[in-house]
Amino acid sequence: MSELTVSKLNKSGISIFLMLTLLIGICPKIHSQDSLNANLQIVVRDEAGAPIAFRLQVFDGGKQIRQIWERGIGRLSLPAGKHTILVRHGFDYDAVLIDNLNLPAGVTETKVTLRKRYDINKLGWYCGESHIHGQHGPADAPQTFRDAERLAEANGLNYIQIAQWWTPD
């Protein structure tokens, strides 16, 4: 073999070795990140078994890490591990606190029943928000009128006033 051929083989071998080392180093990290995700599906009903709008807050070490507003079923991806979850709907329903919910990697379904404490509308009262911003930033909810409606319903509000300069675009 000529000196040139050996040199090419050495360079090719080193390139292949470096590429394999890089891939071996990255692949476990990619795999481990996927395997550390917990997917929570939460089903929220009232005492009669009907789907109800709700606000879900997720805490890790006392710090809120996620928040969603949905009706009936909510889905979110979280790091696997223990979390505290608060589910609520306005003033007239008792909130449900699930402390130290252990979420393993994969999908976990949790069912919550919200119990009505009293009917504020029958008592002649209405709940509302007199100043809701449409947007604080491009990733913040609400971003559309439908988002604002969902947030209001989940928080047990009968009306909302959207602050001026609210643009859904």
pLDDT (tens digit per residue) in 40-61: 999 999 999 999 999 999 999 8
What's the whole-number mean pLDDT along residues 18-23?
Answer: 52
Residue 28, pLDDT > 80, answer: no
Structure tokens at 137: 């930033």
Highest averaged pLDDT of the listed ranges 9-13, 30-34, 75-79, 152-156: 75-79
Query: Which position has the higher pLDDT, 84 or 33?
Result: 84
Mean per-residue pLDDT of the chain = 80
87: β partners? 56, 96
Does pLDDT of 136 surpass 90? no
Distance CA 112, CA 115 (A): 10
End-to-end CA distance of the chain: 68
Instruction: Tell me how long the chain is.
Output: 169
pLDDT (0 to 100) of residue 135: 58
Q: Which residue has the higher pLDDT, 151 or 18?
A: 151
- Angle (CA) 23 25 28, round 5°: 95
Per-domain residue ranges for the chain? 1-35, 37-114, 128-162
Long-range contacts of 62-68 (CB under 8 A, 24+ apart): none
- The token pair that represents 54 in the structure block: 């709700």
Tell me which of 3.30.1330.30, 3.50.50.60, 2.60.40.1120, 1.20.120.420 is the CATH number of domain 37-114. 2.60.40.1120
168 versus 37: which is more confidently predicted? Answer: 37
Position 35 pLDDT exceeds 70: no
Task: Judge if the upstream peptide bond of residue 138 is cis by omega within 30 degrees of 0.
Answer: no
Paired with 81 in beta bridges are: 103
Q: Give 86-104 pLDDT, tens digit per residue.
A: 999 998 999 999 999 999 9
